[in-house]
Structure 1
Amino acid sequence: MAEVTPTGRATGVTVVGLDAAGAPPHPALAPVLAAAGLVVGAARHLASAPVPAGADTVTLGPLAPAVRRLTDAVAAGVPAVVLASGDPGLFGIVRRLRAAGLPLRVVPAVSSVAAAFARAGLPWDGAAVVTAHGRDPRAALNACRALPLVAVLTAPGAGAAELGAGLVGWSRRLLVAEHLGAAAERVREVTAEQAAAETWADPHVLLSIGDVATADTAPADTARDRVAPGGMRVDNQPAAAPAGGWALPESRYAHRDSMITKSEVRALVVARLRPRLGRLIWDVGAGSGSVGIECASLGAAVLAVERDTGSAAAIRANAAAHAVDVRLVIGRAPEALTGLPEPDAVFVGGGGVDVLAAVAARRPERVVLTLAALDRVAPAVGLLRTAGYTVEGCQLSAARLADLPGGSIRLAATNPVVVLTGERQ
């Protein structure tokens, strides 16, 4: 923390947010600026603030020179002020200054995210806030694909146009907030296709809004326990593990002719797929959709591919019952895989060698498949190794407790299954 002298002057670094919503500066700004010997900020912030005539200034570009000047000021006991946008603790400069070991006092203003939700008249206590600035934007895109309410701090080349293009095929409303707090402020609601076709001012905030059913007919410990009206989770954790767990019994899913990955196998498969917020997982030959739905419950974006229309109806019903958003593509693999967004991991629950070959050709980080026929194991392992994957596998066989007449208990064996995991080298 910044130290305070007996006269009340801060001797460390005071980081002051300038209101993204256009409100007057915080009352603390004037006195800390009046006492400052060094003021750091973007050109627009320095121009808009009452910087004292005797203070040194540093215009932000690369951060390293500014950090050196701030470090020298702290060592010399010179009060320093950093001007930033909105709440500088929200994906802002506070993290970098703390990493440099600088003593900080932070005076936040309304963040651009809070301002965007306010302009739209929307609550955002159930929203996930992510950034596409300075990092791979696919994680932010997949968060929008997975969750019903996401705010994205954008960057040039990773804004509403690019994210909109990646959300085509997902049921999303997009609100784009440009020039917040300025005379040119504009907040528009558009479709993903419209967002992709337009040019947007930088920086802007994107709100991605989905429609997740609350499923009044959902079983206990599923949708009713986790989701409030409007899609917000009641546990205040928009991407946390589901309270009801995963590897759920088959009875928790609608399925046809027992065409469902058994819970014991599903537990290992989901673990191998490593679902989390920011990843996109394909469930190919989805059947009941149980694997993909449990990955979605753990925060991943999920795209299910299924050729059978009856099974497709079950996937839709199961996704609604578990209050997750799974994009469904009805078609026969491998043809149905053409043009789909690149996955991070793929579960192949159905199809032959041609499907596995098509999946491996897309080069996801991980490929997981289950096989009941032993004569298909060696060709699958060979194909994945030829495609550049290291492969590990195991055979799972479970025996479940079953009651016998008279109160006795026996073990009822389930069908053994081979689980293969390919990891890209």
Structure 2
Amino acid sequence: MSDPVTVVGIGADGWAGLSPAARRELEAAEVLMGSARQLALVPERGAERVAWPSPLLPALPALLDSHRGRRVCVLASGDPMFHGVGTTLVRLLGAGRVRVLPSPSSVSLACARLGWAADRAEVVSLVARPVETLHTVVHPGRRLLVLSEDGRTPAGVAALLTARGYGESPMTVLEHLGGAEERLISGTAGGWSLPAARDLNVVAVECRADAAAVPVPCLPGLPDEVFEHDGQLTKREVRAVTLSRLAPVPGELLWDVGAGAGSVAIEWMRGHRANRAIAIERDTARAERVSRNAAALGVPGLNVVTGAAPGALAGLETPDAVFVGGGVTVPGVVEDCWRALRPGGRLVANAVTVESEAVLASWYGRLGGDLVRLAVGRAAPVGGFTGWRSMMPVTIWTAVKPVEEER
């Protein structure tokens, strides 16, 4: 674009709620872009009106290019840089080519209506995301502000909370915030009966656990029983140590090779909402189980690849960390994982058999790193007494790829 694109945030109150500066930009625009709903909020001033196509993102670069040399103004809901199109435009054009004039966000308006401190509420967008995304933020005493996909979202939120044992949680649906049709509907998750609200809404939740609800902790090492599995599961004590060696940093990508139940990939993603993971599992039933576990534990975005390593690794995005939980003895698996790993990335591999331990010992001899054996005992009944039942020892090899090493 030869001229910067101006993005104007607009509320449900439309033209009346815009600042003088925002009105001037709209009046001077030659091309006005936005959703049909947003365009209807602005009076005709002679600009060509372009309603967003669906899907928007693939079409946006060509759409902008077709209006090169013209003064383009884009309408966005509320604050364009808060889950809005402003961030997309900056990513495409660069910050220097985008001018943003924000209005209050739906979160700001919701907190103002509810008397909530905005910095103490967890904001989760369910726009183009499954409702299961909420699982990671549902904890006793927490306040949630959910940005809805449409009018059916509140009922989905209520159903999820009730199934989790949070049916007593107060819920408020705030429709058309800031507009003439603004409406607040209150109730509890367990007693929610409204099948659909108006599409433009935010859901506010105060999480209250029922007496029988079992909170799911945030730190690595979730109880084994929260995962659906067939025995192929990295046990919680080993999992906690494994994740500490993988050392996740927000925004990084993990390969979980031989994922089993997917527990390591799932806990990696639960550590931060920006974390991503690819679970590679050759068994179809297990791969399907990984997807179910990911949804149940709040990370439905986990990418599950069904196939056997090393072949299934070809073409996958470069990982920041790799965990090999199964297939250590398969020729080429460790080699290909190490080759694919970005410089400075971490590789962690676990072994429970003599043969797989020998493979790790060989790699330790070649590349160094850290080799640890864990032996865990759990208390169990022995007649009328209590004794220790030992789990199979697990050998963990950790290596960091040198920054200067060629892949």
If the length of structure 1 is used for normalisation, what is the TM-score? Answer: 0.50
Residues 302-338 of structure 1: per-residue CA shift (max 9 Å, x gap)? xxxxxxxxxxxxxxxxxxxxxxxxxxxxxxxxxxxxx
Q: Does residue 1:394 correspond to 2:344, yes or no?
A: no
Identity, in percent, stands at: 31
1:209 corresponds in structure 2 to 206
The residue identity in structure 2 corresponding to 1:268 is: V
Q: Does residue 1:92 correspond to 2:84, yes or no?
A: yes
1:44 corresponds in structure 2 to 37
Residues 62-92 of structure 1: per-residue CA shift (max 9 Å, x gap)? 225554342233x32x211001111111111
Answer whether contact 1:40 1:66 (CA < 8 A) is retained. no
Q: By how many angstroms is 1:50 displaced? A: 3.9
1:113 corresponds in structure 2 to 107
Answer whether contact 1:17 1:87 (CA < 8 A) is retained. yes
Question: CA 1:175–1:72 in 2, change beyond 3 Å: closer, same or farther?
Answer: same
1:172 corresponds in structure 2 to 169
1:268 corresponds in structure 2 to 241
2:27 corresponds in structure 1 to 34
The residue identity in structure 2 corresponding to 1:167 is: L
Answer whether contact 2:170 2:189 (CA < 8 A) is retained. yes
Q: Does residue 1:128 correspond to 2:122, yes or no?
A: yes
Correspondence 1:13-32 to 2 at 5 A: 13-20=5-12, 24-32=17-25
SS in 2 for 1:48: coil
Superposed CA RMSD in Å reads 4.7
Structure 1: which 5+ residue stretches go unaligned? 4-10, 213-239, 248-261, 278-293, 301-341, 348-364, 366-380, 382-390, 400-413, 421-425
Distance in 2 of aligned mates of 1:149 and 1:206: 11
SS in 2 for 1:155: coil
2:157 corresponds in structure 1 to 163
1:185 corresponds in structure 2 to 182
Correspondence 1:8-407 to 2 at 5 A: 11-20=3-12, 24-53=17-46, 55-62=47-54, 63=56, 65=59, 67-73=61-67, 75-76=68-69, 78-101=70-93, 103-139=97-133, 141-146=134-139, 148-156=142-150, 159-168=153-162, 169-170=165-166, 171-195=168-192, 197-211=194-208, 265=238, 267-268=240-241, 298=271, 343-344=293-294, 394=352, 397=374
The residue identity in structure 1 corresponding to 2:391 is: V
Question: CA 1:196–1:24 in 2, change beyond 3 Å: closer, same or farther?
Answer: same
Question: CA 1:197–1:269 in 2, change beyond 3 Å: closer, same or farther?
Answer: farther
Answer whether contact 2:151 2:198 (CA < 8 A) is retained. no
Question: CA 1:187–1:99 in 2, change beyond 3 Å: closer, same or farther?
Answer: same
The residue identity in structure 2 corresponding to 1:52 is: R
Question: CA 1:158–1:142 in 2, change beyond 3 Å: closer, same or farther?
Answer: farther
The residue identity in structure 2 corresponding to 1:92 is: G
Q: By how many angstroms is 1:172 displaced? A: 2.3
> How many residue pairs align between the two structures?
258
SS in 1 for 2:25: helix
Question: CA 1:211–1:419 in 2, change beyond 3 Å: closer, same or farther?
Answer: farther
The residue identity in structure 1 corresponding to 2:206 is: I
SS in 2 for 1:152: strand
Residues 263-298 of structure 1: per-residue CA shift (max 9 Å, x gap)? 965733776999999xxxxxxxxxxxxxxxx99995
Structure 2: which 5+ residue stretches go unaligned? 210-216, 222-234, 251-266, 274-291, 298-303, 305-325, 327-348, 354-372, 377-387, 395-407
Answer whether contact 1:151 1:205 (CA < 8 A) is retained. yes
SS in 2 for 1:195: coil
Distance in 2 of aligned mates of 1:43 and 1:31: 21
SS in 2 for 1:28: helix
Distance in 2 of aligned mates of 1:345 and 1:415: 32
Q: By how many angstroms is 1:21 displaced? A: 6.7
If the length of structure 2 is used for normalisation, what is the TM-score? Answer: 0.52
Distance in 2 of aligned mates of 1:198 and 1:346: 23
